[in-house]
Amino acid sequence: MRYRKIPDETVRRLPVYLRGALHLSQGGVERTSSRKLADLIGVEPWQIRKDFSYFGDFGTRGVGYDLRSLISRINRILRLNVGHKAALVGVGNLGSALLSFPGFRMYGLEIAAAFDVDKRKVGRRKVGVLVEDITSLRYLNRRGIHLGIIAVPENASQEVAEALVNAGVKGILNFAPRYIVVSRGVKLITIDIAMDLACLPYYVPAGRAVERTGFLTRP
């Protein structure tokens, strides 16, 4: 048994490893090496070995990792071995996309409730989920919902985060491109889609304007 602090960066990569392991396992593979896993998911092999070292010995040198045990261990660490319900706030374009997103189920996650301020949306079903008035948010706790997803406009995001926390939510995924402050003990992850797009120009061959700086080139 180990009780070590796992860095956030490592926790963030665990679902990536899980997805890769599931993919290989579904393809009939039983064991894999850090190198093969690395090739599949685009993380360096040493990083994988280092991350796995936080949880004791996953693999055997020269034999690799048993995928079934890897999957069950990551599931247990991330507490995905029990199902989790999330509440979605904001049923606009992004919220609707999230509701119909097929990927959550792979991790035992379910968007079990949806909320909006728009009276025209309230009372209707979106992808099977009833859209409720935002004022019903406070009863999340007794409904067994401990995760929240914020898909509202930027200027409403802080207020919604506070309402979610007051309703007993302990983990929040925020899509509003803005810094949100929540009380200690609540984990908030902000997804800024633009930030991921902003990485890409680095990999695009430079135009003349950039080459002239001479500052940095790719290997």
Contact between 180 and a second copy per CB under 8 A: no
CA separation, residue 84 to residues 167, 177, 203 (Å): 16, 25, 37
Residues 6 or more apart from 166 whose CB is under 8 A from it? 138
Contact between 28 and a second copy per CB under 8 A: no
CA 20/CA 191 separation, integer angstroms: 21
CB 112 within 8 A of CB 85: yes
Q: Of the candidates 96, 140, 150, 167, which one interacts with a second copy according to CB under 8 A?
A: 96
Contact between 109 and a second copy per CB under 8 A: yes
Contact between 80 and a second copy per CB under 8 A: yes
Contact between 131 and a second copy per CB under 8 A: no
* 152-160 LR contacts (CB < 8 Å, sep 24+): 152/89, 152/90, 152/92, 152/176, 153/90, 154/178, 156/90, 156/117, 160/89, 160/90, 160/134
Q: Of the candidates 28, 62, 63, 102, which one interacts with a second copy according to CB under 8 A?
A: 102
Q: Give the three-class secondary structure for 218.
A: coil
Which listed range, 59-67, 84-92, 135-143, 158-166, lies at the site for a second copy (CB under 8 A)? 84-92
**Per the structure block, which two tokens stand in for 118?**
């728009």
Q: Of the candidates 28, 62, 120, 215, which one interacts with a second copy according to CB under 8 A?
A: 215
By rule CB under 8 A, what count of residues binds a second copy?
Answer: 84
Which listed range, 60-68, 130-138, 157-165, 188-196, lies at the site for a second copy (CB under 8 A)? 188-196
Query: Going residue by residue from 147 to 176, which x/- string records binding to a second copy, judged by CB under 8 A?
Result: x-x----x---------------xxxx---
Minimum Å gap between C-beta 9 and a second copy is 7
Chain centre to alpha carbon of residue 75: 14
Torsions phi, psi for 133 (to 5 deg): -70, 145
Q: Of the candidates 28, 128, 184, 200, which one interacts with a second copy according to CB under 8 A?
A: 200
Contact between 69 and a second copy per CB under 8 A: no
CA separation, residue 146 to residues 95, 125, 137, 171 (Å): 18, 22, 12, 7
Q: Of the candidates 61, 63, 93, 120, which one interacts with a second copy according to CB under 8 A?
A: 93
Minimum Å gap between C-beta 148 and a second copy is 9
